[in-house]
Amino acid sequence: MKASALSLLFIAQLAADVDSFGIKSSLFTRNTQLRATNDESDKKRVVVIGNGMVGQRFMENLIDLDTDKKCTISTFCEEPRAAYNRVKLTSYFETRDPSALSMTSEFDNDGRTPWYEENNVELLLNDKVVSVDTKSKTVTGASGKTIDYDVAVFATGSFPFVPPIPGKQRPGVFVYRTIEDLEAMLAYVKENNVKSAAVIGGGLLGLEAAKAVADMKVESHIIEFAPILMCRQIDQGGHDALVGKIEEMGLKVHCGARTESFVGENGSTDMEDMSPVSALRFSNEGWDDLDVQMVVVSAGIKPRDELARDTDIVVGERGGIVVDEQLKTSVDGTYAIGEIALYNNFIYGLIAPGYDMAGVCSKIVAQEQLGYDLGLEETPAFTGADLSTKLKLLGCDVASFGENQPPPDDADVSDLVWNDPIGGIYRKLIFNKAGTRLRGGILVGDANDYSKLHKLAVQGGELPENPAMLLAPTSARGDVEEEELSDDPNTQICSCNDVTRGDIADTIKSLGVDGASLAEVKTCSKAGTGCGGCEPDVKMILKQELEKMGGSLSNHLCEHFAYSRPELMALVRTDADPTSVDSFEKILHKHGHGDGCEICKPTIGSILASTYNGIILDDGRDALQDTNDRSLANMQRGGTYSVVPRVPGGEITPEQLIQMGETAKKYNLYSKITGAQRIDFFGASKYQLPDIWEELGSVGLESGHAYGKALRTVKSCVGSTWCRFGVQDSVGFAIRVENRYKGVRSPHKTKSAVSGCVRECAEAQGKDFGMIATENGYNLYVGGNGGVNPVHAQLLATDIDEDTVLKYLDRYLMYYILTADRLERTAPWQAKLPSGKNGGGPIEHLKEVIIEDSLGICGELDSRMQYLVDTYHDEWAEVVNDPARRAKFKQFVNTDEVQTREEMIEFIDQRGQVRPTNWVPDGQPQTNWKPDTTDVFSRSEKSWVSVGKTSDFAPNVGSAILYGDTQLAVFNNAQRGEWYCTQNMCPHKQAFVLSQGIIGGTADGIAKVACPLHKKQFDLADGKQLDGDLSLITFAVKIEGDEVMVELPAQIEVDAILGTTGLRVGSSCSELDISGTDLEKEILNGVRNTTSTVV
């Protein structure tokens, strides 16, 4: 062993010995003091009291200005981790990872990030300041540490205001402010089986807290004293729209509520009893008690000014440290910023004004305390802030800007209101009396044009001749054009961080074409790092600026192909030798590199299907298919599948209905009729699918392609055959349309509808393509869709007959298939098309291409679509009638044994049917499973076990095997000539599905598998998650002759860790207890008889 290594070992052992005797030694503890230097005494000491978002921003700004290192910075932080983004606190539930909220980089185990050491900032964690002495200029923390200061900056923020409601002291009453608050709530919910909770407060913070409660899978009641929610931002109309959206999500809203007390389980209502909370009692006449088991108080904030009150710093009558325009307090050398600062008798509770204060304060300190000449023409000043805001609360856009609620006596007011209670959209624009100036507004449900309206109100600008043209929401204007971004470099893009377009453009130029990625631009400019609402604008600016610099925003499909989907499609369809591009391997060899991945494989699988239309499970194409296509069914929660027969036009026979019912009953499938005139069956195991489809096929039912990016349905009303208003046979035409385009693969799913008259009962104008009957034929609409961003379809042609409709649709759909991007619906694809020659927008371009053949491609479009129609095959019939294809649905390749769905996840009764139990939120038991050690079987005696013949394992996919009670996944990576074996259970949600994932490789050569449920990536060699901190248990594989051998411990040991019985997801979160059982004895005996070896 080298001497240096021995020295390190000696020091490590000495440290352990010192610790074992309880001796404190500065040699072995974190040195929180700044290292003294010869010129340290010449530096000014800046102490920042509070390490929240605003305090952190102040330090970052000051460090940027302090180019000559004239100061040292210390910051006190009472929390167990450094600054994090409280604005995005509810997103904590997505990962339960505090680092996802960090203001700098990932936290280490002590709650620190490298930023502080890199910038020579002394970070005092878990150390709340208890006193400030402005005479001796010292700050003292709870730890007893006292620091001298030249400059003290109060950034203590605020604390939640808790009204003096009797019972506020009870267990189960929380505030919503920190990560620890959320963790405490989660623990209380779990330990006390909380089913219902109340959130006191219906403002911005209250609604965020309500979302947090809902994310815990707890019924959430919003309790607001005022008659409306968010009374500072919206009015009654906005409230009505917002409440409609909130209640659609299952939350309950109670406005005008006068909470009298939090009632204990023992019925007490006093201020001392500690019985857990069980109800809310109101003083409203006729209101009953509201049964809840938890209360979250989010009724406003109060400045944390208690430190200043013990000094000679002036504090406002109702709280807050009084500051001037330079954020100076009444005592020299002390400043206050953020929610602690009282400017002009007003506390600013939003992050954007706090950042403005941090910017002004840092410049003042740099100039006046550190002596820098910043070359500013005017003294930096905070003179108030624009309180306009755009947020997404509980999934609903809410924005207010300018003078959104002028006083009642303001005579120069004229307002316009858009109120769509069905769509949940409310918009109020407030103009001056003359209608020449937009003063402000309220937007609920659709705020896509907020930036444009905000600029008109705050900065001024010329209004349209008819100002009412600004009123309609973008979703109701019949188009999906992106809002234009101003070229003015002074236009504010990020209000949270006050970043202008010019700031972003300068950042992009400094990074250069090669270095300017979206992530780098956000990090360097701070744009998009607050609430995140401006990220689409930042991306658009990046695209535009890169183009100016001769570069472009990469449209590469993935790391394996330097082409977009349309470009790859063009390369395939125009290749002079089609046989050289008729498989993934050939396309990869000719136009890409590496192994492929979960992005490019399904994309090329779709291109091959749209070009050659072969059976997607044949010739290795099953290895390209995404989660659902590989099984010809939609994977659902718990790893079961749904079965969706095609019902063309919604027409179905009694015999088909009877067979559906008998099949559903036989396999105990949950049955539901959808809004698209189909019947869905849920809960089928993969091995059952061929048998189910054999029974359904016996009455002529075909695959509904609900699993594919293909035509789903053509909805219809009954039309002229039954309806007294119908003018055409909409059912007959819908059946004709659906039977023509069924099975046609496309970049994304497509939906259609046929309405028999202008009453539009089939909702054809909300579909990718739709037909509305007229006296003379049909009007054809294209480019609509429902979903998250509903788009109204546009009129392509009028009064055309059925044959002409199909001709135009052939061309429209094939044009879309050839030129759309990956996973791009028709609506956004259509919106990006060039304008027609007459300036009529993309719809005019489509008329020119499809009707007038302006590009001369109609012949190709017609023939390509006809080829797909002529080569249609019912995929399930092909499986049912072919033993080789049917064998692909066997559960385990090494045995005919099966594990039923109930063995893997608990099924519960719901209204007479069964469904899988709810998944619990991430971070709770039964999620994010991890073994006790990284190599749990390292001490186990292993042997090589044959698990099948090489021919049993399809190439380039995973296959499941059963070993005792344990499911394992064996991956035959034929492309590399490598084999891997891992657990079959994805640790994220404990679902036994990994063998169904797509395998591929990273740019640096790591073989990986993507979980089919949530696309989490795992290294197949060592099992480590590539995009997180989970891991898989892996086992060695070797091939002997044609035998596939896996090196495994004894079954009893593997089952104890990975057995399906122990990992089954149930409604109870209790762990499997084997204490005192025979299983425990067998395991212990196995361990005693094991020969331990060091590998």
Chain segment 436-479, per-residue pLDDT in tens: 999 999 999 888 888 889 888 888 878 887 888 888 887 665 44
Tell how many helices (H) and how many strands (E) occur in the chain. 30, 51
- Say what angle helices 600-611 and 584-591 make with each other, to 10 degrees: 110
SS3 state of residue 904: helix
d(CA 813, CA 810): 6
Contact indicator for 942, 1086 with CB cutoff of 8 Å: no
Residues 6+ apart with CB under 8 A from 780: 769, 770, 771, 795, 796, 797, 798, 800, 805, 808, 809
The pair of structure tokens assigned to 189 is 């919910």
d(CA 318, CA 310): 16
The pair of structure tokens assigned to 731 is 């059912």
d(CA 666, CA 657): 14
Q: Residue 74: phi, psi to the nearest 5?
A: -125, 145
Kindly list the averaged pLDDT for each block of 10 residues, start to end, along the chain of length 1095. Answer: 35 37 33 41 91 95 94 96 88 79 89 93 96 96 96 95 93 93 93 95 87 89 93 88 86 94 94 94 95 93 94 94 97 96 92 92 96 93 87 79 89 90 87 92 87 85 82 63 63 78 89 79 78 71 83 80 91 91 94 91 94 93 90 91 94 95 96 86 96 96 93 94 93 96 95 94 94 96 78 93 97 96 89 80 92 93 96 96 95 96 93 90 83 80 96 95 97 94 94 95 90 91 88 95 96 94 77 49 50 32
In single-letter form, the type of residue at position 37 comes to: T
Backbone dihedral region for residue 171 (phi beyond 0: left; psi -120 to 50: alpha; all else: beta): beta
d(CA 568, CA 123): 52
User: Which H/E stretch holds residue 198?
Assistant: strand 196-200
d(CA 41, CA 696): 86
d(CA 196, CA 251): 10
Which of 656, 659, 605, 636 shows the shortest CA–CA distance to 956? 605
Q: Give the residues across from 398 on adjacent strands.
A: 391, 444
The predicted model scores a pTM of 0.56
Contact indicator for 610, 579 with CB cutoff of 8 Å: no
CA 776, 778, 779 angle in degrees (round to 5)? 115
Give the helix, strand, coil percentages of the chain, each rounded to 5: 30, 25, 45
Which of 255, 200, 195 shows the shortest CA–CA distance to 219? 195
The pair of structure tokens assigned to 899 is 């594990």
Residues 6+ apart with CB under 8 A from 314: 321, 322, 329, 330
d(CA 788, CA 782): 18
Residues 6+ apart with CB under 8 A from 164: none
Q: Name the burial class of residue 831, with classes exposed (0-12), middle (13-18) and buried (19+) by CB atoms within 10 angstroms of its CB.
A: middle
DSSP 8-state code for residue 1031: B
Q: Please provide the DSSP assignment of 309-364 as one string.
A: HTTTS-B-TTSSEEE-TT-B-SSTTEEE-GGGEEETTEE--SHHHHHHHHHHHHHH
User: Which H/E stretch holds residue 791?
Assistant: none
The pair of structure tokens assigned to 251 is 């939350």
Neighbours of 110 (CB within 10 A): 13
Contact indicator for 643, 681 with CB cutoff of 8 Å: yes
User: Which H/E stretch holds residue 381?
Assistant: none
Predicted local distance difference test score (pLDDT) of residue 944: 96
CA 558 to each of CA 593, 596, 1056: distance values in angstroms, whole numbers, following the listed order: 11, 9, 40
Instruction: Write the pLDDT tens digit of every residue in 157-169.
Output: 999 889 999 999 9
In single-letter form, the type of residue at position 651 comes to: E
Contact indicator for 778, 756 with CB cutoff of 8 Å: no
Predicted local distance difference test score (pLDDT) of residue 8: 35
Question: If you search the block for the tokens 């023409």, which residue do you land on?
Answer: 377
Contact indicator for 283, 260 with CB cutoff of 8 Å: yes
Q: Give the residues across from 1031 on adjacent strands.
A: 1024
Q: For the chain, how far is it from start to end, CA to CA, in angstroms?
A: 20
User: Which H/E stretch holds residue 825?
Assistant: none
Q: Name the burial class of residue 941, with classes exposed (0-12), middle (13-18) and buried (19+) by CB atoms within 10 angstroms of its CB.
A: middle
d(CA 764, CA 761): 8
Query: Exposure string (b/e) for 876-908, b if CB count within 10 Å is 16 or more?
Result: bebbbeeeebbebbbbbbbeeeebebeebbbbe
d(CA 75, CA 32): 11
Contact indicator for 330, 312 with CB cutoff of 8 Å: yes
SS3 state of residue 265: coil
Q: Give the residues across from 777 on adjacent strands.
A: 774
CA 908, 913, 915 angle in degrees (round to 5)? 40
d(CA 537, CA 541): 6
In single-letter form, the type of residue at position 385 comes to: A
d(CA 678, CA 644): 7
Contact indicator for 174, 356 with CB cutoff of 8 Å: no
